[in-house]
Each structure stands twice: as C-alpha cells, then as structure tokens.
Amino acid sequence: MSPDLNPTPGRRNNSASLRRAISILLQLGESTDGNGYTLAELSRELDLNKSTLLRLLQPLLEARLVEHPASGRYRLGWRMAQLGRAYLAGLDLPRSMHDILQKLASQTRETVHLVIADFPNIVYIHKVDTPHPVRMFSRIGNSAPAYCTSVGKAMLAHATPETVDLVIANGMPAHTPRTITTAEELRAALSDIRQRGYAVDDIEHEEGIRCVAAPVFDHSGACATAISVSAPADRLPGENVPELAPLVIAAANEISTRLGGAIR
C-alpha cells in the first residue's frame, strides 16, 4: 500500500494532539521533586490553554500514565514506571552505549572502557581502542582491583561504607610505587572524588598507564558502572587530567541519562 502523502485535516489534528500529549509527559518528567504540576503551571509551561490541557490529560489519566491525586497536582503515573522497567530490562548496556563511548574515544583519541562493579573488583565489559599503536592492554571480561583503578574508585566513591570496608578487608597490595595501600588514604581519596566528580588512576594499577574515570548512575541512584579514558602516561601527563576530565564526566552523564539516572 502506498503512503498517504496528503493526510486529512483530522489526521493532522490527531498528530498534533499526540505531540501535545507527549509534551505533557515530558514536562511532568521534569518535576525532580516528584510533586508534579498544577493545571495552571502546566498551562504556563506548555503554553496551552486549560481546556485543551484537560482534554489531552483525560486519556493519559485513563491509561494511568498520569495521576491526579488529592493534592490537585498532576504527576507521572505508575504505568510510566512499568514502561521504564521494561525498557531497562531489555537494555544491552555495552551495545546501547557504544555510540557515547565511540564519541569519547574520538574526542580523546585514547582507549575508552566501560566497566561494572563486582566488588572488591571491577570487570571490563566494553572497550573502544585508541588509534595509536601504543595502547593499554585490557580484555573484555577481565577483572581488576577496585581500589587502584580509576573506574573502581569512581564507583567506590558512591558506594556504601560496608562496600568500601569489603574492598579494604580484601587487601590492598601495591601494584606500583604509587598504589594507595592504606584504608585512610583510600577513604580520603574517595572523599576527594565525590567532590570533584571524577577519579584518577595515577599510575597506580599498571606501570606507565594513567586513567581518568567518571561514575554512571542508574534509575535507582545506584552507581555500579563507570567509564574511563586510559593512556600511556607520556601521552596523558598529570597536568592534562583537568582538561580531559570534563569530557569523561559529560559522557558518563549522558549514559546516566539514558539509564534514567540523575546527573550529579
């Protein structure tokens, strides 16, 4: 059947209504405190009159995509959470985030890793290699200690005290002369990481390799994923880390957004 290139006015109206209904859902999703919006507030934010808004809201209310509790404020309904869970359940993290990692690798021209937590270790689950012939050796599926890797420290900075204690109790042997090996040093480092938003492996895990990482947060606010840029120390001197860090943080924030997590 050939496409209808001349849709009727009714179809155009339906399309406009759908777009407006979607705009309502997106606006309600902007309510970070969960209190939602009054009808007057929605009318102002979306530049729609109240009668039009009420007409558009009715099917959303019936489908439980929107709720209108006794407070009189409209907010997202439980059906939106159901849809979100279905999306997250089918998410292939490495494949679905590859474009973000590829962009970061193109920006930095260095190796980018995506890792998950398996404390006291971390596990590499995706990698985009640098075009340079000299690169960090790593393999998908390999693990490394959390306490001396940038990705591990990025996640530990947002972990529970019990998780940090677990990592410390597992032992903190030196991998290089720069490795943090005491609980006091690690806890101080994690506090600094929380403040600045990124972590550095300053030649702590592997001789001659420096890495910069940022945490990724999921829809529940948990941090069990991180990304990093890794390079030989002579290509990534310490003074260049503050320049690189915002790129890593921006990529991590983009992944967090896709996972429904809040940007920190």
Do 58 and 178 lie in a common domain? Answer: no
What CATH number does residue 142 fall under? 3.30.450.40
Q: 245 pLDDT exceeds 80?
A: yes
Q: Are the C-beta atoms of 189 and 153 separated by less than 8 Å?
A: yes
Collapsing DSSP to helix, strand or coil, 87 comes out as: helix
Q: Higher model confidence: residue 135 or residue 26?
A: 26
Please report how many Cα atoms fall inside a 13 Å half-sphere around the Cα of residue 104, on the Cβ side.
Answer: 31
Residue 13 within any structural domain of the chain? yes
Q: What is the pLDDT of residue 138?
A: 67
Residue 8 pLDDT grade (very low, low, confident, very high; cuts 50, 70, 90): very low
What would the two tokens of residue 75 be?
């907010």
Judgement on whether residues 180 and 208 belong to the same structural domain of the protein: yes
Q: Out of 87, 117, 150, pick the residue that ends a domain.
A: 87
- Looking at the structure, tell me whether residues 49 and 20 fall in a common domain: yes
Total structural domains in the chain? 2
> Long-range contacts made by residues 96-99, C-beta under 8 angstroms, separation at least 24?
96/258, 97/126, 97/255, 97/258, 98/126, 98/128
> In degrees, to the nearest 5, what angle opens at C-alpha 180 toward C-alphas 176 and 181?
95
DSSP 240: G
The amino acid at 173: P
pLDDT above 80 for 206: yes
Of 64, 87, 110, which closes a domain? 87
Q: Each residue of 52-97: pLDDT tens digit?
A: 999 999 999 999 999 998 888 999 998 887 777 666 556 567 777 8
Residue recorded with tokens 């903190």: 172
Better-scored residue on pLDDT, 164 or 30: 164
Give the end of a domain, one of 50, 67, 87: 87
State CA 95 to chain mean position distance.
14
Domain residues for the domain of 110 are 93-258
Of residues 198, 172, 207, the one with CA closest to residue 186? 172
Angstrom CA distances, 78 to 30, 63, 119, 150, stand at: 16, 10, 33, 38
Q: What is the pLDDT of residue 90?
A: 60
Which is it for the CA torsion 251, 253, 257, 258, positive or negative? Answer: positive
Tens digit of pLDDT for each residue in 99-117? 999 999 999 999 999 999 9
Instruction: Find the CATH number of the domain harbouring 77.
Output: 1.10.10.10
Check whether residue 114 and residue 180 sit in a common domain.
yes
* Helical pair 39-46 and 9-28, crossing angle rounded to 10 deg: 120
Please state, in angstroms and rounded to a whole number, the distance separating the CA atoms of residues 28 and 37.
7
pLDDT of 220 > 70? The answer is: yes
